Each structure stands twice: as structure tokens, then as C-alpha cells.
Amino acid sequence: MIQAEFEVLLSDNTKRVDEDISWSEDEDRSPGVEFRVEVTSDPGYPLFIKGWYNREAQTLSYALIHRGVGRIYGLDLGKDDHNPSCVYVGEKHKHSWNDLVRDKEAHVPADITAAATEPVEVWRQFCQEARISHKGTMQPPPQINLEMFL
């Protein structure tokens, strides 16, 4: 994917998620919960979003994935990132597709103000930033089972 294609895709405001979103335990029953939803758009981009929230590590990720390319846009909270320029970006960072380094470079997204422990609010802000309209609702992640993991 070239930069211009990515820019057009990202600025396309017909991208939408029509379904309600609920978090589910992952296949390993780890402390993380996840969801996956399709993103539709008028141009028919082959996109979906994966969400990952680790209730113990308190990390949160939303990744916009293009079926032909992989992740092209992703927000991470609660863990740091090291850019190819050897700069550490911080615990709130967003990866965006770039011709030169693909999705390896991240920056601090000013519009994301909610914390990793507020996945529903972060989702709202993420959608706004990525120009995705969500017609449904997002359920909060289930509470972690009180049984000890370790």
C-alpha cells in the first residue's frame, strides 16, 4: 500500500461499524479479552478492527487491519514504543502506515485522552480519530474472574 492510498483510506469518512461490540475471552483464556468487527465503507476497503484489553497488565490496543496488508493503523495504551529513529514514544501511542517503515513508526495521538482502563471511552475517541462511525454500542469488558491467574 502506498502512502497516498493510506491517506485516502484514512480520510474516507464512510468507514463504519454497524454491529454492537462485546468483548470475549480469548482462545487461551488469558487475562486478555478481545473483539473483532468488520469495517464497511463505500469504496469497499477490506478492513476489520481487532481490540485487545489485558485486564491484569492494563494495556489496551485497537488495530485497524487491512486484509491484504496487515495492520495499517493501531492505537496502544499502557506500553511504550521504540521508533526506528530510536526515540521512545511513550505509553500512549498510535502506529500509522508509512511508505518507508510500514506500521513501525508511532506518534502520540493528542485526541486520545482516556486511560487504558477506560476501553469504551478510548474506543469512542479512536473511532473519531480514524473517521469511523460506530452505529452500535460497545459493552464494557467483563470483570476478570476472581480466581488467581498465577
Partner 1 sequence: MNIIPCEQIEEKIGKLFSCTEVNGYVRIRTPYLYPDGDVIDVFLSEKNGSYTLTDLGETLGWLKTQTVAPKKSPKQRQLIADVCLNHGIELFRGMLTVRLRTADDLTEALVRLSQASVRVADLWFTFRTRAVESITDEVAELLTERQISYDYTERLPGRSGRIWTVDFHTRHPRKSSWIYVLSTGSRAAARGVAEHVLAAWYDLSHLKIGPQGLNFISLFDDTLDIWSAEDFKLVGDLSDVSFWSKPDEFLEKLAA
122 is a site residue for partner 1 (CB under 8 A): no
The residue from 63, 77, 122, 127 that contacts partner 1 (CB under 8 A) is 63
CA distances from 123 to 18, 22, 43, 105, 126 (A): 14, 12, 23, 21, 5
27 is a site residue for partner 1 (CB under 8 A): yes
Site for partner 1 in 34-53 (CB under 8 A): 34, 36, 43-44, 46, 50, 52
30 is a site residue for partner 1 (CB under 8 A): yes
Extract long-range pairs of 44-52: CB within 8 Å, 24+ residues apart.
45/9, 45/12, 45/15, 47/9, 47/15, 49/17, 49/132, 51/21, 51/23, 51/119, 51/123
Q: Name the residues that contact partner 1, by CB under 8 A.
A: 1, 5, 26-32, 34, 36, 43-44, 46, 50, 52, 54, 56-59, 61, 63, 65-71, 74, 76, 79-84, 88, 95, 102-106, 148-150
